[in-house]
Structure 1
Amino acid sequence: MYKCCIFDLDGTLINSIKAIAYSCNLTLKKYNLGPIDEDTYKILVGDGYEKLIERALIHCGDNNLENYEDALVTYMEYFKIHCMHEVKAYDGIHDMLDFLKKNNIKIAVLSNKPHAQTIENVDIVFGNGYFDNISGEKTNVKRKPDPEGAIIIANELDVNPCECLYIGDTNTDMKTGIGAGMDVVGVTWGFRDRKELESFNPKYVIDHPSEIIDIVKSTVLISN
């Protein structure tokens, strides 16, 4: 049976693409670059803000990354202000999480978003103390797709990796969960398509948060 669900944040629990796009386009504007549309940002994100800035600059023609170091600082200045810009939970997420909590299944967040903004997003959208563990990007933990962060969360919550579902929306998440020895759920409502997710052979690929409830119910007799 599953005792814990570890969720990616952006594109899995919350739709934050507008905040990311807004902050990054403000950054690019400083160098007379951009803007980039939201659909393109869905491809650029997923591996931390340093990689986002690198990809955005190259996308806009700064192939030598002349503005890279300054853009990192500029982006974080904007993102600290605008990280909640039009951010909201996907439909069905609240009901699914409430079900998990009601049935004593631990819930956690593992994100490549900077830790402070991860905490801010989660606390504002879901409430302070709602999750059992929240982990954003930290200097002392390897970022996804390295499985270290997921394994640390499992250890801190006193569950075995094989008792965890890892849920995410990108190739980075598929690699993370598989590397951690967890059963992996790819979600199609986020930033990447089914084809990308299925290419990594996760145990499940789902189209709505309610399907997580079905997966958990299938492993043990629990309340409705």
Structure 2
Amino acid sequence: MYKCCIFDLDGTILNTIESISHSISLTMEHFGYKTVDEAHTKQFVGDGFKKLVERALLFSGDENLVHYEEALAVYEKVFEKNCLYKVRPYEGIPEFLCFLKDKGIRIAVLTNKGHERAVECVETSFGKGFFDLITGEGDLIACKPDPSGALYTAGYFHVSPSQCLYFGDTNTDMRTGINAGMDTVAVTWGFRDREELETFNPKYVIDHPEKIKHVFE
């Protein structure tokens, strides 16, 4: 029986693509490049903001990453102002999370988004204290797909990895769950397609939160 559900943030519980696309576009415009559309942004995210900036610069033509260090600083300032831009929960997510809480299941967020911005997004969208634990990218825990964040979460709740269900929308999330020895749930409403997710043989593949409720009944 699962005692804990760990959720990725971007593309899993919150639709943040407009905030990220808007922020990376403003960053690229700072250097005279064109905006980055949402389709490409979806491919660039998932591995932390440093990789996002790197991929956006390469996409924009900065093949030698001449602007990389400056772009990191620009993006952080821009994103601090725009991290809540048009952010909203995915359909069915608030109801599903309440369902889990009613069942006594601990719920946590584990994301490669910077910790401060992650807390801001989650608490603004769901309320302070709604999630039992929020862990974003920081100095103490390595970026996913390193399993340390997922294992830290399991340890925080005093449960084994086999008692945790890990939800995500990218290959990074699937690899995180595998690396941590946790069953994975691939969600198809996020930033990557079903084909990419199924490559990693997730325990479950769902197109709506309702589709996984039976596991907890």
Shorter-chain TM-score range: over 0.9
What are the within-5 Å matches in structure 2 for residues 11-22 of structure 1?
A: 11-22=11-22
Does residue 190 of the first structure (1) align with residue 182 of the second (2)? no
Task: Give, as a single letter, the amino acid of the residue that structure 2 aligns with 1:102.
Answer: D
| Residue matched to 1:211 | 211
Q: Distance in 2 between matches of 1:192 and 1:104?
A: 30
Q: Distance in 1 between matches of 2:210 and 2:202?
A: 18
Q: Percent identity?
A: 54
Does residue 87 of the first structure (1) align with residue 73 of the second (2)? no
| Residue matched to 2:144 | 144
Q: What is the alpha-carbon root mean square deviation over aligned residues? A: 0.6
Q: Distance in 1 between matches of 2:5 and 2:211?
A: 13
| Residue matched to 1:112 | 112
Task: Give, as a single letter, the amino acid of the residue that structure 2 aligns with 1:42.
Answer: K
Report if the CA contact (8 A) 1:21-1:41 is conserved: yes
| Residue matched to 1:103 | 103
Q: Distance in 1 between matches of 2:57 and 2:192?
A: 21
1:4-24 C-alpha deviation (Å, 9 max, x unpaired): 000000000000000001111
Q: Distance in 2 between matches of 1:188 and 1:157?
A: 28
Q: Distance in 2 between matches of 1:114 and 1:213?
A: 30
Q: Distance in 2 between matches of 1:140 and 1:91?
A: 33
| Residue matched to 1:220 | none
| Residue matched to 1:25 | 25
Q: Distance in 1 between matches of 2:55 and 2:192?
A: 16
| Residue matched to 1:66 | 66
1:76-119 C-alpha deviation (Å, 9 max, x unpaired): 00000100000000000001000000010000000000000000
| Residue matched to 2:127 | 127
| Residue matched to 2:158 | 158
Displacement after TM superposition at 1:200 (Å) = 0.6
1:95-151 C-alpha deviation (Å, 9 max, x unpaired): 100000001000000000000000000000000000011000011211100011000
Give the TM-score taking structure 2 as reference length.
0.99
Q: Distance in 2 between matches of 1:154 and 1:203?
A: 18
Q: Distance in 2 between matches of 1:122 and 1:56?
A: 25
Displacement after TM superposition at 1:215 (Å) = 2.3
Task: Give, as a single letter, the amino acid of the residue that structure 2 aligns with 1:79.
Answer: F
Report if the CA contact (8 A) 1:6-1:109 is conserved: yes
Report if the CA contact (8 A) 1:96-1:212 is conserved: no
